[in-house]
């Protein structure tokens, strides 16, 4: 996006090089409330870049977009996302959001905890409709690495796995990433997703996709069986997904019976090491 942002109603993208008053994360920090909408053209452009068929979502918004929008709203409020890694994501949809529908983003930093690699930052992010009702919750916990602690391991308590035995998950789809595809999807704000040098400085072998991009592949599984009315996912980003990877999208449950799905996951086949979970989501609520 080089001119006006098509999501945050005409605002120009904010870069980490822009001369604005960057703030250190602090408990209680309020994210500036902004109107926004996801247009059909924007959704189609980004889903096609990710390798997902936009027709899967019909005239409804893929709620995965609200993950990135929440992060961008924080950036525009003065909280840098540079080098940060999303760890745990809540994605709740109270009702389907229509393409082009105007919502308003609100949020605040809820908690900050010190961990061996730096700090984890928990941010409450909600989206309200014209009547003031919360229709989407995209709250998250991310790791803000401390450069002086480079090489240390540990980012707090590790939530138990959703898919403890990956070989029991039913594969529904397969995806192949390319650097061109990931760069076409990615937006300004965190260069580890689209610049090789930034990724290497952060300790990664190559740029890794943003968490929200990975969640599109999970949402596509759900929408391929019809539009969910209510949805509540607890999402865990277990391993980085690099911009040249091949992976599968699978479900824990009967493939043809969405009501039986207890979990969703992205899996990488590591040969003798077996299947590894990259991103997984526990289905808390799912109604047709």
For all residues of the chain together, what is the average pLDDT?
Answer: 91
Taking each helix axis as running N to C, give the angle between helix 211-223 and helix 40-50, from 0 to 180 degrees, rounded to the nearest 10.
100
Question: What is the pTM for the complete model shown?
Answer: 0.91
What pLDDT was estimated at residue 2?
36
Please name the residue that has the structure tokens 């977009």. Answer: 65
CA distances from 10 to 3, 5, 65 (A): 9, 5, 17
Q: Which of 4-18, 32-46, 233-247 has the lowest mean pLDDT?
A: 4-18
Classify residue 67 by its DSSP letter.
H
How many residues in total does the chain contain? 288
Contact (Cβ atoms closer than 8 angstroms) between residue 266 and residue 277: yes
96-136 residue pLDDT tens: 999 999 999 999 999 999 988 789 999 999 999 999 999 99
Tell me the fold of 30-287. Thiol Ester Dehydrase; Chain A (3.10.129)
Residue 9 pLDDT class (50, 70, 90 cuts): confident
Domain ranges in the chain are 30-287
Bridge partners for 92 per DSSP: 137, 232
- Which candidate, 234, 245, 194, 4, places its Cα nearest to that of 81? 194
178-201 residue pLDDT tens: 999 999 998 766 788 889 998 888
What pLDDT was estimated at residue 3?
42
């Amino acid at each position: 996006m080089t001119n006006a942002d098509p999501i945050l109603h005409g605002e120009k993208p904010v870069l980490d090089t822009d001369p604005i008053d960057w703030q250190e994360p602090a408990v209680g920090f309020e994210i500036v409330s902004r109107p926004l909408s996801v247009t059909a053209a924007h959704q189609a452009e980004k889903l096609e870049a990710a390798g997902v068929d936009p027709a899967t979502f019909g005239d409804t918004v893929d709620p995965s977009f609200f993950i990135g929008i929440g992060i961008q709203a924080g950036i525009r409020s003065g909280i840098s996302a540079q080098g940060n890694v999303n760890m745990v994501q809540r994605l709740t949809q109270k009702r389907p959001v229509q393409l082009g529908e105007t919502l308003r983003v609100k949020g605040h930093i809820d908690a900050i905890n010190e961990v061996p690699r730096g700090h984890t930052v928990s941010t409450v992010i909600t989206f309200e409709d014209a009547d003031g009702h919360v229709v989407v919750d995209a709250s998250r916990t991310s790791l803000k690495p401390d450069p002086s602690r480079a090489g240390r391991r540990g980012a707090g308590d590790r939530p138990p796995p959703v898919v403890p035995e990956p070989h029991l998950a039913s594969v529904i789809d397969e995806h192949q990433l390319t650097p061109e595809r990931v760069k076409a999807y990615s937006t300004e704000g965190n260069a580890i997703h689209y610049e090789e040098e930034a990724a290497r400085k952060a300790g990664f072998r190559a740029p890794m996709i943003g968490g929200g991009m990975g969640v599109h592949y999970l949402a596509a599984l759900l929408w391929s069986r019809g539009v969910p009315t209510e949805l509540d996912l607890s999402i865990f980003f277990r391993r980085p997904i690099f911009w040249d990877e091949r992976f599968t999208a699978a479900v824990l449950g009967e493939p043809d019976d969405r009501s039986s799905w207890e979990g969703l996951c992205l899996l990488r086949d590591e040969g003798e090491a077996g299947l590894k979970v990259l991103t997984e989501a526990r289905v808390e609520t799912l109604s047709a």
